[in-house]
Amino acid sequence: MVLIAIPLFELYLYPQIYFYSPLIGFFPGSIYDEDISIDSKLITYRTLNLLFIYIFFYLTKKKIVKNKLLFSSLILVGIIISFLISPLFGFSTNENRLKNILTNKIETNNFIIYYDKLDSTEEKIISLYFNYYYSELHRIIKTKPPRKIKAFLFENDNDKRRYFGSENADVAKPWLYQIYLDKNNWKSTLKHELAHIFSAEFGSSPLKLSGDFNPFLIEGFATAMDPFVDIYDIDHLAAIHYKNSKENIIPKISGSINFFGFNSTLSYIYSGSFCKYLIEVYGIDKFKRFYSDNNFEKVYNKNFSSITNEYLKYLESISVLTSSNTYYYYFCRKALIQKDCPRFIGRKIKEGWELFEKDHIADAKNVFVQVLNFSDNYSALVGLTECLIKQDSLSSAEKIITNNLQKYSETPYEYLLKFRLADIYGLSGNYDNASELYSILERDRPNFNLQSLSDFRIKLISVGLLKDYLLSSDSVKFKIILKLNEKQYSYSSIPVLITLAKNLRIDYEEFLSVFDKPFVQFDEYSFFAFLKLSQFISDNFDFLRARKMAALSKRLNSNDYANEYLESNYKMIEWLYFNHNNFN
């Protein structure tokens, strides 16, 4: 019982979500990290387990300690000591261990944010975003945490995995009032994780989670508070799924176990959209009571199916202009438990890409081929084509994708592979086929970002620069896009220009000099360009100009699915404009 209890104590008292246990070895703590392998730490841990067991049986057999009470006490003391010193060996992670690697901190009235490396601008932006989302959640939920929230901002995903236990998922522990984020993508998950902390005030049990620990409510509430996937609002995506599938998915995912049996996008979008509906129609106070005890009929005085039917009618009322391609793109991935050998494949994929990065192309190619012999893994297929391109075999890369494309029909990978195939056509100078594929993706609209990138590639073909762009370094790509925008703005290229400017650390004033022409001609990609500009300019503390860009993106938008996101973006930048001097 003590051995069983140790991991539970660690998960409850410590930041980590992984644990080492004498009974099962290693538990990674996250279903999102497929690459889990036997390493030296696990071997060391198991060796120490065997040593402990040997001592136990030796003392028992030799009857060195004859008093049973004393013997049991010694064993218990040994287990307690191992629990206390395990952070020194890396078998667990307490708060002090995190503070030793994240040695700097930002402290405000509501937060203590631990980090390793940030410049002064990054510190200010992080402080502003944290406090903005805090104020928004407080406004909606009408309660707030009783103490400062601690945030641990890991330098990279490897550190996050090593010290916390999850490489790909950001996580909150409401009972500790702590969140754990990756420095490289904290913006996309911050509000969601903070919502988990706020939910502690109406959660139940010592873990301060929903009644019966129902993930439908736990994740549904946090998703409802941050209701966007890319630039789509979750109600719109749920409506796309419902109108294409004609399936009432709510009863299937509202149970505790079933939630993780589906594609995670499907579970999160529907739980978030349904919880959002309950909050907007019946109020936050009722939802908080429902969250606390998971007793629907007691709180709402209606049976679950009747309100589910109300919700489905609401989805029916949403005008969905996008085609079924959006449905396939967002909802037709497999859940982890539906995949074949996900841990083994995850490990091999990582091995293949590490070999590729070290320029061991032949070895990487062999690994990717090995994976593809018993799996249709998309990453392995992309890795194989990258190896073939490196080996100057564009025709083979083209053939590999063409021969395998049908396997990925009606999944997101179909569209991603078409885009990749078009790039390969571009590299080989086959611009007619490249242009045709880009045009299909632009027409089919599976995902707005993919649509915008396809338009950008078509613009490059029109000026004869696609092959040069695809073969160039980031700095040359930046210059190519500047040339593309010399006479007239190519709005679909601007988000890419912004990403390159960030990667290259282009001086902000130098970047602004690109936009020396008036904005007079617009297209369907203009709103997205101004949206990205507003966010980039805001991150450079130019809030007045950012506010104008955010307003312009709202005005130029003609897509209903993006209205809520653009309004949210404008509200945030407006708040930053009025409050940025309050958090120095």
Strands (E), 207-337: 228-229, 232-233
SS3 of 255, please?
A: coil
Strand order in the sheet with 178-182: 104-107, 111-115, 149-154, 178-182, 171-173
Q: How far apart are CA 28 and CA 20, in angstroms?
A: 9
Q: Are 434 and 425 in contact (CB under 8 A)?
A: yes
Predicted confidence at residue 162, as pLDDT, reads 87
Predicted confidence at residue 220, as pLDDT, reads 96
Predicted confidence at residue 340, as pLDDT, reads 60
Return the exposure string of 314-342: e unless at least 16 CB atoms fall within 10 Å of the residue's CB, then b: bbeebebebeebbbbbbbbbebbeeeeeb
- Structure tokens that stand for 244 in this block: 């294409």
Residue that the structure tokens 């092959």 belong to: 467
The dihedral of CA 372, 377, 378, 380: what is its sign?
negative
In the predicted model, residues of the chain with pLDDT beneath 70 are 30-37, 65, 256-257, 322-323, 334-343, 583-584
pTM assigned to the model = 0.92
Strand 25-27 to 19-21 pairing? antiparallel
Q: Are 299 and 286 in contact (CB under 8 A)?
A: yes
Predicted confidence at residue 34, as pLDDT, reads 55
What digits encode the pLDDT tens for the residues 148-200?
A: 999 999 998 888 888 998 887 899 999 999 999 999 889 999 999 999 999 99
Q: How far apart are CA 329 and CA 64, in angstroms?
A: 66
Predicted confidence at residue 501, as pLDDT, reads 96
Q: How far apart are CA 529 and CA 455, in angstroms?
A: 13
- Structure tokens that stand for 71 in this block: 């013997």
Q: How far apart are CA 254 and CA 304, in angstroms?
A: 10
Predicted confidence at residue 335, as pLDDT, reads 54
Alpha helices, H only, 150-263: 157-163, 186-199, 215-225, 234-245, 250-253
All domains of the chain, ordered by start, with CATH?
2-92 (no CATH), 101-316 (1.10.390), 472-584 (1.25.40)
Nearest residue to 145 (alpha-carbon basis) of 126, 173, 181: 173
Say which residues have a Cβ less than 8 Å from residue 223's Cβ, sequence separation at least 6.
192, 234, 268, 269, 271, 272, 273, 275, 276
What digits encode the pLDDT tens for the residues 100-147?
A: 999 999 999 999 999 999 988 899 999 999 999 999 999 999 999 999
What digits encode the pLDDT tens for the residues 51-96?
A: 888 887 777 777 776 777 877 787 788 778 888 888 888 899 999 9
